Amino acid sequence: MTKILTEHEAKKLLAKYGIPVTEERIAGSSDEAFDIAMELGMPVAMKISSPEIPHKSDVGGVVLNVKEDEIKTTYSEILSRVKKAVPGASIEGILVQQMAPAGHETIVGLKKDAQFGHALMFGLGGIFVEVYRDVSFRVVPINKSDALSMISEIKGYPILKGIRGKMPADIDAIARVLVSVSDMAEKENIIELDINPLIVNESGAIAVDARAMVEGV
Amino acid sequence: MLSSIFEPESIAVIGASNNETKWGGRILKNILSGFKGQVFPVNPKEKEVQGRTSYSSVLDIPYEVTMAVIAVPVQLVLNAVEECGKKGVKGLIVVSAGFSETGNAGLELEQKLLSIVKKYGMRMIGPNTLGIVNEPVNLNATVIGRLPRPGTISFITQSGTLGLAIAEWTIDMGLGLCKVISTGNKADIDDVDLIEYLDKDPSTGVIAMYAEGIKRGRNFLEAARRTKKPIIAIKTGRSKRGAKAVFSHTGSIAGSDEVYSAAFRQAGILRVDTIDEVFDAALAFSCQPLPRGNNVAILSNGGGASIVATDECERHGINIVDLAEETKEKIKKVIPEFASASNPVDTAGTSSYTAYSEIIKALLLDKNVDALIAIYVHTLMSDAIPPAEAVVEIKRKCPKPVIACWMGGKGIEEGVDILKNGCLPNYSVPERAVKALAALIRHREFLETVKTRAAEESE
């Protein structure tokens, strides 16, 4: 039996292994969404939370940069779009989330391979992964020096190091995330995992979105 | 236990035949042509096979039998193997086909076969193998017509026919082989067993592999990581993409091939793209030491070839090193004024014994140089022999690796023979020479990372 975790569940799992994740809570009503947003500080990101909808944007389930006066309407708009797109899907509520800091979009992933166990992937996010497939792989477990060589192997590495006067990204923070993901692979019976994006800037790395499929218990 | 197959004291050939176009006939003939131990044909229909007493069952043989080659129709295999177990045979080579490679019914039969093998504590190569060669004991239990030249390269092949064709081809290339192992369906003995066995085998120096799939992936990586011997592998099936994006990005990108590449690299296995590269690298490993670093000097009597070599070095991250002033001074003395004494060294046509000999000596003595690529380009005005003699002569006294590239047609044959007999790996074009050198460098780097890692972990 496989089980798909919601974004919120996946991030709890990441947090358990010391990976920084965005602050967020699930709202069951538009009032609750407003209260959470006040607490987190606006603007916020609002995302549908359902174990049956792993691809949230495809069904209009994600709105970013929501301001104070838009929260309640956004709440009901997301719900009605999703209900139209995926009728009958079980919905836990709307995830209200701190907006991601500015930085480089990277992707960290795991896949259980039939031959060699878990394979760990790192790359720059967005078009770099989708079009150029600029990624590196290791079979887990890895240590920190493996993680560092994995990061420096991708073609886009100079971007992370800071080109044209840009601040260099916190490479060590990425390496820590990679080692943590390597650690959780077997312990958590992960089949597939994406941290996409892991936003990296000069002061750290944070998991902004995540999805996971695990072996069910 | 694998030694009962590779170094048996006696062999029974079950399904032995007088007809040399049949498996049981050809393999028996090949075994008899070199193997020094006792050989017993088994065939209930014959009194004598190829001049030897034929037994109707392995159980009738009045001597001990260490290993049996089984080449009977598939429906007779289980019974033959059962009898081998009763006889106390220790190792089996099951040539017969019709097992898991044919589908579910065959798979079931293979499982039955394996359980008989296990019941008697035997070990088995196959089924569906084309046999093995172990040159040091003159054992050719395959259908290859000749034994390879003696050498240190052991070749594991999952494809029988391709493997045997390649083995024949290496004979003509003058490559020295130690073992050829056609793994067949790997029902019992698989790549992990073979890597562990070859790691301990004193006559194997280099392991070459043709693999379509690996069983027991994790154990395989551990075995590969443990051995210091270089493993060069061609793993086919690169074109198969991973499953389409069903759930995650990672899942859609991480096809089995990407994972194979990563896993092989972590285990220090040199994955190459072509069959040529497997043996080009194996040849270099089999007769040259590993370089201390990746600083290379190139010598050529023509500019074009050295430029091609330089470009290829760049592609593989090999450094064309700056030569010491002293080295350049020595070189200038033996080349024309307009030629280049800088790396890559271009003699502008000169390829005399003295010139090559003096330059090679200077380059190999240069502390900055870790390895040398010596190129000779044939022309109507030059002779391929003197530079070949020079490089062989100097190399004999030097612990740094030297790779040769003698380019030309018929005119260079004698020069190439001198290189081969002098144990210098020679390649027809500079790119091949550079790739072979790159393999040596990558392997040395891997051994170093293993060492640093061990040091890190013991801290």
pLDDT along chain B (459 residues), means of 10: 96 96 95 96 95 96 97 97 98 96 94 98 96 96 88 92 84 86 95 97 96 90 95 79 61 81 94 91 95 97 94 96 96 92 94 96 97 95 95 94 94 93 93 97 94 81
CB contact under 8 A, A137 and B254: yes
Alpha-carbon span A3 to A189, nearest angstrom: 10
pLDDT interval class at A166 (50, 70, 90): confident
Alpha-carbon span B436 to B154, nearest angstrom: 17
Residues of A in contact with B214 (CB under 8 A): 115
Interface of B with A in 265-294 (CB under 8 A): 266
CATH number of A23-98: 3.30.1490.20
- Amino acid at the residue A54: P
Alpha-carbon span B201 to B3, nearest angstrom: 9
Please state the CATH superfamily assignment of the domain spanning residues A104-215 in this structure.
Answer: ATP-grasp fold, B domain (3.30.470.20)
**Count of beta carbons in the 10 Å neighbourhood of residue A10:** 24
Residues of A in contact with B453 (CB under 8 A): 143, 145
CB contact under 8 A, B253 and A115: no
Alpha-carbon span B113 to B135, nearest angstrom: 29
CA count, 13 A, side-chain hemisphere, A129:
27
CATH 3.30.1490.20 maps onto chain A at: 23-98
Give the per-residue pLDDT at B241: 52
Interface of A with B in 99-118 (CB under 8 A): 107, 109-111, 113-117
How far is C-alpha B273 from the geometric centre of its chain's CA atoms? Answer: 14
Residue range A100-107: mean pLDDT, rounded: 94
Give the per-residue pLDDT at B239: 55
Structure tokens at B85: 């177990």
Dmax over CA atoms of chain A, in Å, equals 53
Give the per-residue pLDDT at A192: 94
How far is C-alpha B17 from the geometric centre of its chain's CA atoms? Answer: 31
Contact present, B321 and B313 (Cβ < 8 Å) = no
CB contact under 8 A, A139 and B256: no
Question: β-strand B149-157 against B231-235: which pairing, if any?
Answer: unpaired
CATH 3.30.470.20 maps onto chain A at: 104-215
A129 CB near a chain B CB, below 8 Å? yes
pLDDT tens string A181-198:
999 999 999 999 999 999
DSSP state of B128: S
Give the per-residue pLDDT at B161: 84
CB contact under 8 A, A196 and B249: yes
DSSP state of A154: S
| Alpha-carbon gap: A48 to the closest alpha carbon of chain B (Å) | 17
**Count of beta carbons in the 10 Å neighbourhood of residue A64:** 12
Residue of B nearest to A5 (CA): B247
pLDDT tens string A17-49:
999 999 999 999 999 999 999 999 989 999 999
B172 class by beta-carbon count within 10 Å (0-12 exposed, 13-18 middle, 19+ buried): exposed
Mutate which of A57, A111, A118, A178 to disrupt the B interface (most B C-beta within 10 Å)?
A: A111
Interface of B with A in 329-348 (CB under 8 A): none
The structural domains of chain B, ordered by start, are: 3-128 (3.40.50.720), 134-286 (3.40.50.261), 289-444 (3.40.50.261)
ipTM over 0.90: no
